[in-house]
Amino acid sequence: MFLRYKRTCLAKIKALDLNPKLRNQRDQTQSLSPKKPKPPKKSEIHFADRAFYYGLKITSWGIIFLLLSMVVLIFKMSWPALHHFGFRFFFNTEWNSVTQEFGALALIHGTLFTSLGALILAVPVGVGVALFLNEIAPRRLAHALSFLIETLAAIPSVVYGFWGLFVLVPWLRQSLQPWLVDHFSWMPLFKGYPLGVGIMAASIVLAIMIVPTIASTCREVFRAIPQSHREAALALGATRWEMICLAVLKAGMSGVIGGIILGLGRALGETMAVTMVIGNRIELNWSLLAPAQTMASVLANQYAEADSDLHLSALTGVGLTLFAVSILVNGGARFVVWRIERKFRGAK
Amino acid sequence: MGVEEAQKNPVLRTDELQAYFGPFHAVKGVSVSIFPNQVIAVIGPSGCGKSTFIRCLNRLHEETPGAKVKGQVWLEGKDIYGKGVDPVLIRRRVGMVFQKPNPFPALSIFDNVAIGPKLMGLRRRALLEEKVEQSLKQAALWNEVKDKLNKLGTSLSGGQQQRLCIARALAINPPVILMDEPTSALDPISTARIEELVQELKNRVTVIMVTHNMQQASRISDKTGFFLLGSMIEYGDTVQVFTKPRDSRTEQYITGRFG
Amino acid sequence: MNFKNWTYLQRRIINWMAKIVLFLFTFLALLPLIMILFYVLRQGGNVLSWSFLTTLPGPTGSTGGMANSIVGSLVMVALASIVGIPLGIVSGVYLSEYGVGKTANILRFSLDLLTCVPSIIVGIFVYGIVVIRYGFSAYAGAFSLALIMLPIVARSSEEIFKLMPGHIREAGLALGLSRWRVILQILLPGCRKAVLTAIMLAVARIFGETAPLLFTALGNQFYARSLSQPTASMSVQIFNWARSGFADLEQQAWAGSFVLVTLILFMNLATRFLGRVRS
């Protein structure tokens, strides 16, 4: 009895050696174990693990400290200007380095105005792209097109600005804007001269740049909507468009809003493209045709050449404002997207 | 039963129905006639094509990427896969209830039921209200929700949500309702209520119900079809299928030898 | 139900129009991409030559090349990567493997904060911390690029490590490996390709960054003699050429854009390819 058992065991061991598949398996298990023949002492492992953990933790705190110092430093640098001008800094439209009078209102206005214009142009397009790719286009076409949309997001902003300056701006100056001035100059939005550069050009370039952001956020949210909602709509005899309205847009509305705010955040902070096409004149103007300046573009234009400490400090104050605005906007977007994701995770 | 059938026309008839997912042949030539005012149970092991089969009956299968259907399905004497037939119109005549309750998330209880008639052009508020009340009563939900019609559909319990989905399907007066394992996500009490409801619905519509649960099939259905690997092995009176199955594989499945 | 034929017709028409409008929107979104690629290829392709890639820019008003800015960009991106990638991966490991508790939450929050900060603000920070004391330099430029790249690498590598199923870690631990060995010898090698993809995307992103370099690395008409000198970069060079007002320098900006866009698109395509191999 015992002998038979021993024989079968031997046969198994032989089979292990002969069968390449089994042998591989055994070799793998061996190679996975520590290479050192002698396992280290328990306390040693313990020490190494702890050292590794604390190494990671210290690095993490280093990064946190770096970011904290970023906030503190920018605040400290802008303090002289904020102290000198007080709250007037945010309500003064004058920005003059000769008289040393600095107020950020025209810049804030420029940033909000261009970003709003960009949103009005980009939101229908971005949401439309997301719906087309997710709900209408055949899968292969959607794949190819979404690759192109991602490519759009990868192009550096300086190239957008350059293209805007040499292709978009001349077209605006020669074709669109003269026509607008001829027919709509009774509206305050279209008063002025067809310069090409200005708020309109900046809004269009920004819109082009944020369409991929809006589209990809919306697509992700739409993808989180369970397929059965779409099927329920179709099973009721809804057409494709009615299905989109019923099951996709209604359910994904807060996600769409999140995507829009995320796009807004990107538009607010965008620097290079705007700097190149906005015309760089610090004036509070309600016309789309007028040249203007945004918070980001004034930094790009003047920071390296600031001629006094107060000027530099005022510029940093503009930076601080921009910082605060983008954190608020992005925080809002994240909150909205997070909420919708949680909602669907709960529903599943 | 047999005499009755001969006098009536089938409400739904399939002829060599084939369905594919890409290269995968999910339904392999099913021919069956379904007569009005009956409950038909479709049973079989998981992955045997029974859900795909009923999704072919309202042309929902083709909405899955890569899916394809061959063969004919006759609904009230019209081929729903015929040339120039709009699936939207077909789905109006065939209601569907899904495995998990799926009321539209952003809509109220009222709107969830009213949406079908609304889509079809019913605008008058009074008519809509009447329709909603009628459908909710038919779905045995009216008494529970009549005071909170403006609450979100998703605020109801699972069993109530599923009955809301049944009301939603009933609101467009379809002659046929498909149910894809409607009770598999529900607790036993809700399941019992839905089973009871299906029995009552029989007077108005034909119910085709996929189920995993053989007790359920034997309890509520008049006819049973047994699916295996994409083919309908056996179709007949429920009593006959469960007591004297003609095919040995049906017998093996029913007695629990596989599944 | 009283079925009205005109309602059905109306619904079909609306459905068709909606589909067409959505398609037009998609086309409209892609139109700028097509136009930008077309202009960059046509205008830039005309000017681009071997000497453009290998010579210095000429004195103002005359043509030259962008050799110094190519070198400058490469140097600064490399420096930034040396700092940013390891730090990013380390924080990614920390967040995914030890990612509960106060430190992890604060770190996650700070990284998210850094992601949404406009890049020009990062430039201001580096200006205040480095440039004020040591002047414009490649170090300062690289520092700002590293700060931009860090949160991208960290958050994407966190996501990647989290995708690794837990039982693989447990299998390692069950073999008697200590935790840090599991991380270094099983987790990291297992996610090699995905992490590489994330790194490539981050590098492609900082190659095109301009705003923070404007007042950290500034720019230079010549090769920088050391890393502590103002250094040219491709994106800043394109910006300066584009605003110069001279037609021939504008032509050079097109050529520069051609080089930059080709490089970035190539890196993006490479990550696509890598991703396909993985799946």
CATH of residue C245's domain is 1.10.3720.10
- Whether B113 and B167 have beta carbons less than 8 Å apart is answered as yes
- Whether B199 and B220 have beta carbons less than 8 Å apart is answered as yes
Has residue B259 been placed in a domain?
no
User: Which residues on chain B are in Cβ contact (under 8 Å) with A234?
Assistant: 60, 63, 87, 91
Which residue blocks in A244-308 are alpha helix, DSSP H?
Answer: 250-269, 272-277, 295-302
Token pair 């837990």: residue: C166
Task: Please give the tally of structural domains in chain C.
Answer: 1
Q: How far is CA B146 from CA B161, B201, B243, C66, in A?
A: 14, 20, 43, 75
Task: Provide the residue type at A89 as one letter.
Answer: F
Contact C272 A69 (CB under 8 A): no
Has residue B139 been placed in a domain?
yes
Task: Please give the tally of structural domains in chain B.
Answer: 1
Q: Could you list the mean pLDDT of each consecutive 10-residue stretch along chain C, which spans 279 residues?
A: 66 93 95 93 88 81 81 95 94 89 89 90 94 93 96 93 85 80 85 89 93 90 88 92 85 92 91 67
Does B128 have pLDDT greater than 50?
Answer: yes
Q: Give the pLDDT confidence of A70-97 residue by residue, as tens digits.
A: 999 999 999 999 999 999 999 999 998 8
Query: Beta strands B206-210 and B24-34: pairing type?
Result: unpaired
- Measured in angstroms, the CA of C14 and the nearest CA of chain B are apart by 12
**CA-based nearest residue to A296, from A169, A168, A82, A107:** A107
**CA-based nearest residue to C206, from C122, C95, C94:** C122
pLDDT of residue C113: 87
- Whether B17 and B73 have beta carbons less than 8 Å apart is answered as yes
- Percent of chain C at pLDDT > 90 equals 53
pLDDT: is A343 or B178 the higher one?
B178
Has residue B160 been placed in a domain?
yes
User: Which residues on chain A are in Cβ contact (under 8 Å) with C250?
Assistant: 166
Q: Which domain holds residue B228?
A: 2-254
Has residue C54 been placed in a domain?
no
Q: Which domains does chain A have, with CATH numbers?
A: 104-347 (1.10.3720.10)
Has residue C131 been placed in a domain?
yes
Q: Which domain holds residue C224?
A: 67-278
Has residue C50 been placed in a domain?
no
Give the residue numbers in C contacting B (CB under 8 Å), as ranges: 1-4, 7-8, 11-12
Does A165 have pLDDT greater than 70?
Answer: yes
User: Which residues on chain C are in Cβ contact (under 8 Å) with B170?
Assistant: none
Look up the ipTM and state it. 0.91
Has residue C143 been placed in a domain?
yes
pLDDT of residue A250: 85
- Mean pLDDT, chain B, whole residue set: 88
- Measured in angstroms, the CA of C191 and the nearest CA of chain A are apart by 17
pTM: 0.85
Q: How far is CA A157 from CA A40, A348, C30, C211, C258, in A?
A: 54, 40, 16, 9, 14
Kindly report the CATH number assigned to the domain that includes residue B182.
3.40.50.300
Facing B116 at nearest CB: one of A231, A236, A253:
A236
Has residue B79 been placed in a domain?
yes
Chains that touch C (3 or more CB pairs under 8 A): A, B
Has residue C73 been placed in a domain?
yes
Has residue B125 been placed in a domain?
yes
User: Which residues on chain C are in Cβ contact (under 8 Å) with B89?
Assistant: 8
Does A6 have pLDDT greater than 50?
Answer: no
- Measured in angstroms, the CA of B187 and the nearest CA of chain C are apart by 32
Has residue C76 been placed in a domain?
yes
Q: Say if residue B258 is exposed, middle or buried (CB neighbours under 10 Å; 0-12, 13-18, 19+).
A: exposed
Does A188 have pLDDT greater than 90?
Answer: no
Q: Give the pLDDT confidence of B187-229 residue by residue, as tens digits.
A: 999 899 999 999 988 888 999 999 988 889 999 999 999 999 8
Mutate which of B88, B113, B120 to disrupt the C interface (most C C-beta within 10 Å)? Answer: B120
Contact A250 B107 (CB under 8 A): yes
Facing A229 at nearest CB: one of B89, B104, B119:
B104
- B64: Cβ contacts below 8 Å, ≥ 6 apart: B21
